[in-house]
Amino acid sequence: MRGLPVYVLLAATVTLLAYAHLLNSYWMHVAIIAMFYGILASSWSLLAGYAGLFSLGHMAFASLGGYASALLVQWYGIPIPFGMAAGVALCCAIGGLIGWVCLRMSGPYLAIFTLAFSEIVRITFSTEDQVTAGMAGLHTEPLFHSVSRLPYFFTAFGLLAFSLAVMGAIVHSRWGLFFRAVREDEQAAAASGVRVAQFRILAFAIASGFAGLAGGFYAHYIGILTPSLGSLDLMAVVVVMTIIGGMERIPTAVGGAFGVEILQELLRAYGQWRLVIFGIILLLTMRFARNGLLTPLWIQFVRLGEVRSVPPPPRDVGQEGSRI
């Protein structure tokens, strides 16, 4: 992406940051949570959309990152950023390990394996209540001792921007190309010289690290952590956000997170029916727009300001032979 779309994005970002203080506390909270989900959806997009690893354990890593940071800060009194960094490192390590354990799994087998892992993490946090306070909730050290949510808003924005910059650099590098090759055909990727096992592990480690980062921030923003952070319900929310936005592009996944989070609030009056509405949107997306609802819009946006070249004269393609 270059040229006009970059300027438009920059202008929109600067405007948003400049006028952020005008948001009331409620909508600022919605925006912060949307950015939290933005990190989760974009990293899940890296894992499932780019590398083709349909993991259902992503929220377990958010939970691990959150608890690791909260407990380290509580036990050792280390600064919160160090606690969050430790949570990220732990999630990278465990994510890589999970990636290694399920090297030969794909599709439903991988989904079920990671779902089982996720449940193990959730039940462990729930059961070990002497350490984690279980379902009563672990009180965490707040990131800022401020009444205003504005510092959290800027922190969430910074973390989201950092995550998108790093993941954007990865998907546009040769690693991104290799992730997609592994997604398309592992055997052909190996025959092309791609270290399939290494890149599968790498995808798990990177995505888990970002999930841990989101979880760490959430822990020190919300102030209380429960094992339900790693529940299948929240995993489903991340999946819905990513698929509705478009799982094969990181910006569309973030767009999906924002769209769904904001819609969740706007439709709050409909109670549980709003979840039915999301289910229907998901079904329609899977049926009619498998690349996500935002992908065509994003493609048009990226092409803004592109100079259209004169198309080349048509080739004679009457016979298959003439096309070689």
Partner 1 sequence: MSENGVLVRGATLQKHFGGIMAVDAVEFAVTEGDLIGLIGPNGSGKTTLINLLTGHLIPDAGEVYLRGRRVNGLPAHGFAAQGIARTFQLTQLFGRMTVLENMLVPGLTRPHSTWGAVTKRARTYLEFLNLAHLETLNAKNLSGGQHKLLELGRALMLEPAVLFLDEPFAGVHPHLRDELIKRIHELHRSGRTFVVVDHDMESILRIAQRLVVMARGRKIADGPPALVRADQTVLAAYSGL
Give the number of other Cβ atoms within 10 Å of residue 263's Cβ: 15
Tokens for 18, please give them.
Answer: 């400049």
Segment interacting with partner 1, rule: CB under 8 A, options 78-86, 173-181, 209-217, 278-286: 173-181
At its nearest, how many Å lie between partner 1 and the CB of residue 178?
7
Question: By CB under 8 A, is residue 321 in contact with partner 1?
Answer: yes
Q: According to CB under 8 A, which one of 311, 315, 316, 318 is a site residue for partner 1?
A: 315
Q: Which of 8, 136, 188, 304 binds partner 1 (CB under 8 A)?
A: 188
Q: Which is nearer to partner 1, 108 or 321 (CB)?
A: 321
Pairing of strands 138-139, 224-225: antiparallel
- By CB under 8 A, name the one of 189, 202, 205, 244 that touches partner 1: 189
DSSP assigned state of 306: P
**Is residue 190 close enough to count as binding partner 1 by CB under 8 A?**
yes
Task: Give the separation between CA 51 and CA 15, rounded to whole angstroms.
Answer: 34
Cα separation, 255 vs 244, in Å, equals 9
What is the rounded CA–CA span in Å between residue 248 and residue 143? 33
Nearest approach, Cβ of residue 94 and partner 1 (Å) = 25
Contact letters (x/-) for partner 1, 101-120, by CB under 8 A?
Answer: --------------------
- Residues 146-165 binding partner 1 (CB under 8 A) are none
CB 50 within 8 A of CB 251: no
Which helix (H) or strand (E) segment holds residue 139: the answer is strand 138-139
User: Nearest Cα to 45, choosing from 215, 159, 163?
Assistant: 163
312 binds partner 1 (CB under 8 A): yes
| Residues at the contact surface with partner 1, assessed by CB under 8 A | 174, 177-178, 180-181, 184-185, 187-197, 312, 315, 319-321, 323-324
